[in-house]
A = this chain, B = another copy of it.
Amino acid sequence: MYLAKIYVTYKPSILDPQGVVIKSALERLDYQGIESVTQGKYFQVQLSGADEAAVAKEVEAFVEALLINHNTETYTYDLTEI
C-alpha cells in the first residue's frame, strides 16, 4: 500500500489571489518578515498496489486527468510505502 501526497500550486506566472490576501492579512496582524505566501491544494491518496513504479504512473495519470487545471496549475508529489 502506498500513500501519495500531492501538492498543487499555481504556476509561477499566474497570480495567486488567496496568497496575496493572506500575506496582507498577516502583515495587518503584525506578523514580521513574511516575504511571500502561496496557497495551493493538498491531496492524500492511499493506493493499494505493490509496484512503486506502476503506482507512481497511476498517480501522475489521475492527477493530470482530474486534479489539476493544466492552464494555471502545476504539481509535485511524494510517494511513500505504508
A interface residue numbers (CB < 8 A to B): 1, 5, 7-9, 19, 22, 25-26, 29, 31-49, 55, 58, 61-62, 65-67
A43:B35 contact, CB within 8 angstroms: no
16 additional contacts (CB under 8 A) given A26-B62, A29-B66: A1-B35, A5-B7, A9-B42, A9-B44, A22-B43, A32-B49, A32-B58, A33-B47, A33-B49, A35-B47, A37-B43, A38-B43, A39-B41, A40-B44, A41-B41, A42-B42
Residue among A33, A39, A58, A65 with max Cβ neighbours from chain B (10 Å): A33
B66:A22 contact, CB within 8 angstroms: yes
A48:B22 contact, CB within 8 angstroms: no
